[in-house]
Structure 1
Amino acid sequence: MAIEEYRQGRPFTGVVGRTTDESSPAWPAPVRATKGTPNVLFVVMDDMGFGHLGCFGSPIETPNFDRLAANGLRFTNMHTTALCSPSRSCIVTGRNHHSNGMASITELSTGYPGYDGVMPFENGMLSEMLVDQGFSTFMVGKWHLTPSNQETATGPYTRWPLGRGFERYYGFLGGDTSQWYPDLVYDNHQVEPPRTPEEGYHLSEDLVDKSIEFIADSKQIDPAKPFYLHLCFGATHAPHHAPKEWADRYAGAFDEGWDAYREKVFARQKELGIMPADATLSRHDPDVPDWQAQSPEARRLFSRMMEVFAGFLSHTDHQLGRLLDFLDDQGELENTIVMMISDNGASAEGGPTGTTNEAQFFNNAPESLEASLSVIDEIGGPKHFNHYPWGWTWAGNSPFRRWKRETYRGGSCDPFIVSWPAGVNAKGEIRDQYAHIVDMVPTVLDLLDIEPPATIRGVTQAPLHGVSFAHALDDAASASKHHTQYFEMFGHRAIDHDGWRAVCPWPGPSFAEATAAFGDPISSARLSQLDATGWELYHVAEDPAETNNVAADNRDRLIAMIGTWYAEAGKHGVLPIDGSALARMVGEKPLIAAPRDQYTMRPNTQTVPFFAGPRVLNRPHSITAFVEIPDGGAEGVLLSQGSAAGGYSLFIKDGLLNYVHNYVGRDLFRVSSSEPVPVGKHELRFEFEPTDKPDMPNGKGSPGHLQLYVDGALVAAADAAVTTPFAFNPGNLTCGSNPGSPVTPDYKSPFKFTGTLHKVTVDVSGDLIEDPESELRVHLAKQ
């Protein structure tokens, strides 16, 4: 007999009598998708430029991205916000970034609706829409959409992935992480990677393994149930981490330099039809050094950094290929809507010369060329946190000008691929219709024949801002339905309207041409001046690389577009226009936990992010571990913070109590007891006493005395000539072990303490010396 079902939330349709023989049952119907509903796969890359994929003209080998393009469509006119979190908020909601409260990354939030970093629940995510339509919903990889003060074990968890409609999650919550030793969260709890780099671990591979696992788990129970997988690789954001054999494939490939790369990519883009045959390549950027003017040693170093980046991208492409092969083997790929996008253009955060360790950049302690060359064969490996020079950034955004964080097309126009073999007849074609990432959600809903929900979990939903481009998938000649789109990032503004583009760069068209410094606020008087004389105008329908500023000849059009920008800004919460960066960071924000002088840490608990933990740098502080040493002794880490890129560790080895401070991966300062810690209960204490003020502009934290105590008795002392001035990155604090890369070569991670560790207290009641500008650099580089 067929089971009687009724729609959930509706009245019971069975019969309830006095007894079961007088009654008939009925069941609330499970939510089921319509038979044959396609799966949805979003692949989001990080800091990947328009000229990085092979199918967009790059010499970098990306056969699986190319495979998607050959079986689908390449869009040449897709736009992002030019920054990480803002773009990601648009991709999942179909609303503009300021309307999502995501004017910037959450670490730089301010107390205005468009800037507070708190995504409103009335802007529902695609995951929340599809889970109610019978989809399995999986989030894998980078998130960076939770307010930064809510990324700890104390929550709240309402804006973690599982709080926003995803049923399963595996990835990292913040802006970046090591690909070899990532900070991983599984659902709502922290986990360690399943293997070590020595055992072949890499994050990109792990993310694809989990993607396959999540899909397989669901399909083996209900093969007909569609899935939505939101896969966000850490690649190709710094650190550029790649297995050496993948980087070595590109040995010598970039020796001609970044100008030659651009010219070759641009020529190939014309051959492919990505760029019009009569298009003009954008100018040599004034901030980019001339390749031939660099010394042979510098060119060798810069070439290797690009080889590593290329290996990183090709390695990621290979992992994507494993996922596509799995879907193909399962008979799912044909009926999967795949959309691939990057969150913004290529990143210039490596500076003009790049770095092998971003911690040195954050701490104003840049390495010398000789120091970089001494580890050239290790770049991309577990010991380093590397980023290429911004000449390669500019090249990777070919043919456009500028880069991430700026609203020129180098920051905001990205490669976009759509593939759905079962639903789209066109294959291998190019689409040049204007689109923006807010259009992805409405297009998916259109293809699935789903109306945007009026409410989600009882919350009335705001209208979508994007428009569907589904009509263009099989009709290359159709017009775009997205006519007008505003842009704003740190006061850098732009607006697109029907083939025209107005840009108001702040603080200038380049750093060399700027009238202020990046991050300077925009006063009312300055804004009036910018609106009067600072806007540029480009007819991008004919000049896609923004090479010919035609503002002087089209004054009326420009004035109308500026007015339209303000109308859009008012509509979406862009005001007040804020060009500042440092001021945003240091401004007061709501706190989950109030600052305090003493922190108590316990073993086997989640690690604590750097900015949520005790601030020990440049101030007197103590670390006290309450332990029991068994017969036969014990060893292991009592408290550690950071990694091989910089940090500190208090540990016991060979019975001796040790403390090591790792200064930006460059020097180790240590103190060790001469006698073993006795058996029994003890208080093991480290104290730091500064002996001079820090020299932060020159990358030197406070020198000081390093002192060890056992039960209150001084057992060892030494001096540190310099300490880390500002931040450890990675900077997680861990009690009872050192997960990830070891702070010191004295042991191998995780080196868990083998005795009994009750707790560790950190006292920071001494005065704190801060450097807000260095803190800002950390936040901006992690977006």
Structure 2
Amino acid sequence: MSLKEYKPGRPFPGTIGRTWEQSSPAWPSPLRSKPGAPNVLFIILDDTGFGHLGCYGSPIRTPNLDRLARGGLLYNNMHTTALCSPTRSCVLTGRNHHSNGMGTITETSLGYPGYNGTIPFENGLLSEMLMEAGYNTYAVGKWHLTPAEQTSAAGPYSRWPLGRGFERFYGFLGGDTNQYYPDLIHDNHAIRAPATPEEGYHLTPDLVDKAIDCIADTKQVAPDKPFFLYFATGAMHAPHHVPKEWADRYQGAFDDGWDAYRQRVFQKQLEMGVLPEGTRLSRHDPDVQEWDSLPPEEQRLYARMMEVFAGFLEHTDHHIGRLLKFLEETGELDNTLIMVLSDNGASAEGGPHGSVNELKFFNNTPESLEQNLAALDDLGGPKHFNHYPWGWAWAGDTPFRRWKREVYRGGTTDPFLVHWPKGIQAKGEVRMQYAHAIDMVPTVLDCLGLEPLDEIRGVTQSPIEGISFRHTFNDANAQSRHHTQYFEMFSTRAIYHDGWRAVCPFPGPSFKEAGQGFGEATLDEDRLRELDANGWELYRVSEDASETKNVAKENRGKLIEMIALWYAEAGRYQVLPLASPTLAVFALERPQLTRDRKRYVYRPRTSPTPENAAVHVLNRPHTITAEVDLRDGAEGVLLCHGGLTGGYTFFVQDGKLHYVYNFVGEQEFHIESAVDVPEGRSELKFEFEPTGKPDLKAGRGAPGLGRLYIDGDLVAQSDISATMPLILSLGEGLTCGRDESSSVSQRYAAPFEFTGTLYQVTVDVSGEHVRDAKAEQNAALAKQ
């Protein structure tokens, strides 16, 4: 007798008698996908510009991504929001970033619907939709879509990946992470990296390994069950971390500088047909130094920084190639719909001169050329948290203007590849139709023959705002169906409509022309009126793809129409109120799970506490008290916060009590007890007493006197003359009983777990905590 099934929730179709022999069974049918349904793979690169991939004319070797372009389609008119979290929310929901509450990154959320950093449940994710269609769903890599205040072990977990339709997750929740010492989350809990950099560990191959494992686990049990894999690398976001041999492959390749790079890439793009005929190279950016004007030592440093970036990208491509090879070897590649996208243009967050330790930048601590040159041989390795200067970001967005965070096309027009041999007949062709990140979800649903769900887990769903571009797959001449798209990022605005593009830069077309840097300008009503009257530019991008000729004066009527259209879209998608990235905006109080307190208690074997949720000790008196029981020479870390780029650590070693303050990776202030820690139960304490005021402009926090106590007796004291004034660490949070990631001090090797009994560590804080909104803004933006 054949098995009888019925849809769950429907009436039972079998028969029920008084006994089993008198009855006939029927089973709730398992959730199955449509026969032959394709797998779906999103590969999301970070901070990768239009001119970075080999298939887009770059000299950087990306053979595996190039292979996808040759076997599929390359789009030259795909757009993003110009920033990380906002774009990723579009990619996964098919709704605009303000509709998702993601008008900015989660760390800089505002108390308005378009900016609260919380994707509403009525905006279902593709993972939630496809899980209901019988797919396995996996997220691997960068997430950055959970409100920053909800990323600690206290949760809530409802907006972590597993709460939004992904069945498995392996990666990191924030905007960036150390590639050698990552802040890893496996499903819903923090884990330690499986190896060290000394053992050859790097995050990218680890992510690829886990992605392959997820697919293999499913296919060996249910080979016909399709999967949706959201694979988001930490690359190419800073820190630019890559083994030295990869960077060395580009030795000398960029010695002629960013101006020459742009010219070469632009010519290649024209030859390859990546750009429409007649495209012109945009102007030299006023904020970028002329390469030939730089002294030789600066050229040497900046060229090496780009060599490291290039090696990082080729290394990333290589490991993406392993994932593609696995799909090919298992027979899955041809029926996998692959979409590759960068979340925004290349990043200018390294500033005009680049950085070998971004923590210095966010603390206003000067970086001398001599110090940076001394780091040359180690750039890309675990000793530094490096980022290239913004001249390379400008070059990476060739042929467009500007970069990430801004809505000229350099920030919003990004590489986009589609590969699906079973569904696309065309191979190696360029597509010029207009598209946006919100179009990816409806295109996938269209390809799978699925309708958007009316309801997910009892929540009525909002309409999808994107438009499928599946009709372009096999028709290069198909008309664009995405006619209008607004843009807004940090009060810079733009609107596209049928080949026209209006842009209103804020505070100006460049920092030099505006006379104000990022975050220095205030947008009040008077300034907004002035911008609306005189600040908009107009481009006929169907003829001038790189926005080189402002035609606003001769097309005043069209410009007024476009401005009115922007406001209509802004009202439709909850873009208002506009908020300039000023100190007041970034200093806003945001909801926390618990109220700020004076006493924090930490216990061993608990998850690391993220930076935004850990106790703040900068520029204020504080004590750290550990209750321990030492036996048989026990030692190890009691409490630490930060890593090799800066932080503090409180530990026992060789029988003595120690405290080390690591000042931005430059200097360690070490205090050691004059006597041994006794056997048995003890109270071990560190006390910091400020002896001066912080000098925020000079990059110096409050100097102070550090003291060590054992059972109430003073056993050591010493001056700590330099402290971080603003930011303690970039991602490496607070841990109790061990040093979780890179070692805060060179006096031990992480994790240096405490081998005695550690009951708890209490941190008491008092006095006014010196806050600097500009630095908090910069630190948050480092996580994009």
Could you state the TM-score of these two structures normalised by the residue count of structure 2?
0.99
How is 1:649-688 mapped onto 2 (pairs within 5 angstroms)?
A: 649-688=649-688
- How far residue 773 of structure 1 moved from its aligned partner, in angstroms, is 1.1
The separation in 2 between residues aligned to 1:249 and 1:362, in whole angstroms, is 31
Which residue pairs with 1:86 in the alignment? 86
How do residues 64-143 of structure 1 correspond to structure 2 at under 5 angstroms? 64-143=64-143
Once the two structures are superposed, what CA deviation does each residue of 1:221-252 show, in whole Å capped at 9, x if it has no partner?
Answer: 10000000000000000000001000000000
Distance in structure 2 (CA, Å) of the matches to 1:14 and 1:511: 73
Decide whether the 8 Å contact of 2:582 with 2:774 is kept in 1.
no
Q: Which residue of 2 aligns with 1:590?
A: 591
Per the TM alignment, residue 517 of structure 1 is displaced from its structure 2 partner at its CA by 4.4
Structure 1 distance, partners of 2:507, 2:274, is: 31
For residues 356-393 of structure 1, the C-alpha deviation after alignment (integer angstroms, 9 at most, x for no partner) is 00000000002100000011100111011000000000
Partner of 1:548: 549
Q: Secondary structure at the match of 2:651?
A: strand
Deviation at 1:767, TM superposition (A): 2.5
- Paired residue type of 2:479: A
In 2, the alpha carbon distance for the partners of 1:9 and 1:70 equals 47
Letter in 2 for 1:643: G
Q: Shift of the alpha carbon at 1:588?
A: 2.3
Q: Which residue of 1 aligns with 2:643?
A: 643
Post-superposition offset of 1:529: 1.1
Structure 1 stretches lacking a partner, 5+ long:
none
Whole-angstrom CA distance in 2 between matches of 1:365 and 1:755: 38
Residue 241 in structure 1 maps to residue 264 in structure 2: no
Aligned residue for 1:696, secondary structure, equals coil
Aligned to 1:718: 718
The answer for the alignment partner of 1:162 in structure 2 is 162
The answer to whether the aligner puts 1:489 opposite 2:492 as a matched pair is no
- Give the equivalent residue in structure 2 for 1:149: 149
Structure 2 residue 184 is matched with structure 1 residue 178: no
Partner of 1:755: 756
Maintained 8 Å contact 1:106/1:117: yes
Q: Distance in 1 between matches of 2:667 and 2:8?
A: 64
- Read off the aligned partner of 1:658 and give its amino acid letter: H
Q: Tell me the CA shift for residue 765 of structure 1.
A: 2.1
Question: Could you list the per-position Cα deviations for residues 311-337 of structure 1 after superposition, in whole angstroms to 9, with x for gaps in the alignment?
Answer: 100000001000000000000000000
Q: 1:697-712, aligned counterparts within 5 Å? A: 697-712=697-712
Structure 1 counterpart of 2:437: 437
- 2:14, 2:245 → 1: CA distance? 65
Q: Does the 8 Å CA contact 2:340/2:418 hold for their aligned counterparts?
A: yes
1:516 CA displacement: 4.6
- Partners of 1:433 and 1:479 within 8 A in 2: yes
Q: How many angstroms apart in 2 are the aligned matches of 1:769 and 1:757?
A: 31
Shift of 1:674: 2.1
Question: Mean alpha-carbon deviation: is it higher for 725-734 or for 220-229?
Answer: 725-734
Distance, in Å, in 1 between the alignment partners of 2:82 and 2:585 is 18
Matched to 1:573, the amino acid is: Q
Aligned partner of 1:530 in structure 2 is: 531
- What is aligned with 1:512? 512
Deviation of the 1:576 alpha carbon: 1.2
- What residue identity is the alignment partner of 2:583? L
Instruction: Determine the C-alpha separation between the residues in 2 that align with 1:770 and 1:97.
Output: 29
The residue correspondences of 1:49-60 to structure 2 (distance < 5 A) are 49-60=49-60
Counterpart residue identity of residue 262, structure 1: R
The residue identity in structure 2 corresponding to 1:599 is Y
**TM-score of the superposed pair, with normalisation by structure 1:** 0.99
In structure 2, runs of 5+ residues without a counterpart are none
- How do 1:731-770 and structure 2 match up within 5 A? 731-770=732-771
Tell me if structure 2 keeps the 8 A contact 1:93–1:126.
yes
Conserved? CA contact 1:13–1:26, under 8 Å: yes
C-alpha RMSD of the superposition: 0.8
Do the aligned partners of 2:183 and 2:732 also contact (CA within 8 Å) in 1? no
Any conservation in 1 of the 2:148–2:612 contact (CA below 8 Å)?
no
Deviations 1:577-634 (A, max 9, x none): 222343222112221111000100000000001121110011100001110011x211
For the residue of structure 2 that corresponds to 1:776, the secondary structure is helix
Q: CA deviation at 1:464?
A: 0.6
Q: Distance in 1 between matches of 2:211 and 2:149?
A: 28
Partner of 1:390: 390
Aligned partner of 1:200 in structure 2 is 200
Per the alignment, in what secondary structure is the counterpart of residue 30 of structure 1? coil
> Which secondary structure does the structure 2 equivalent of 1:326 belong to?
helix
C-alpha offsets along residues 718-765 of structure 1, whole Å, 9 cap, x if unaligned? 101111111122340000000211011101110001111111000112
Separation in 2, partners of 1:116, 1:745: 41
Equivalent position of 2:293 in the other structure: 293
The count of residues paired between Structure 1 and Structure 2 equals 782
More displaced 10-residue stretch of structure 1: 504-513 or 6-15: 6-15
1:693 aligned partner: 693
Q: Distance in 2 between matches of 1:339 and 1:730?
A: 29
SS in 2 for 1:503: strand
Contact 1:647 1:731 in 2 (8 A): no
1:353 aligns with 2:376: no
Contact 1:108–1:581, Cα closer than 8 Å, also in 2: no
> How far, CA to CA, are the matches of 1:248 and 1:580 in structure 2?
38
Deviation at 1:672, TM superposition (A): 0.2
CA deviations over 1:185-222 (Å, ceiling 9, x no partner):
00000001101001111000110000000000011110
Quote the Cα distance in structure 2 between the aligned partners of 1:278 and 1:505: 25
Distance 2:592 2:768 in 1: 20
Asked if the contact 1:109–1:584 (Cα under 8 Å) also holds between the matched residues in 2, the reply is no
Query: In the alignment, is the contact (CA less than 8 A) between 1:635 and 1:755 conserved in 2?
Result: yes
1:515 Cα offset (Å)? 5.5
* Aligned residue identity for 1:372: N
Query: Which position in structure 2 is the counterpart of 1:616?
Result: 617
Partner of residue 627, structure 1: 628
Mapped contact 1:645–1:730 kept (Cα < 8 A): no
Give the match for residue 606 of structure 1: 607
Per-residue CA deviation, residues 668-687 of structure 1 (Å, 9 max, x unaligned), is 11100122211110000000
Secondary structure of 1:611's partner? helix
Counterpart in the other structure of 1:421: 421
Structure 2 CA distance, aligned partners of 1:61 and 1:109?
A: 37
Deviation at 1:468, TM superposition (A): 0.4
- 1:220 counterpart residue number: 220
Shift of 1:254: 0.2
SS of residue matched to 2:392: helix
Paired with 1:712 and 1:643, the residues of 2 have a C-alpha distance of 29
Distance 1:295 1:25 in 2: 83
CA contact (8 A) 1:483 1:498 kept: yes
Read off the aligned partner of 2:379 and give its amino acid letter.
Answer: I
- Indicate conservation of the 8 Å contact 1:598/1:765, yes or no: no
Distance 2:584 2:273 in 1: 44
* Alignment partners' CA distance in 2, 1:568 and 1:14: 54
Is 1:464 paired with 2:464?
yes
**How far is the alpha carbon of 1:522 from its aligned partner?**
1.4
Q: Structure 1: which amino acid aligns with 2:465?
A: H
| Matched residue type, 1:766 | G
* Partner residue, 1:563: 564
> Which moved further from structure 2: 90-99 or 583-592?
583-592
CA distance in 2, matches of 1:35, 1:579: 50
Please tell me whether the aligned partners of residues 383 and 741 of structure 1 are also in contact (alpha carbons under 8 angstroms). no
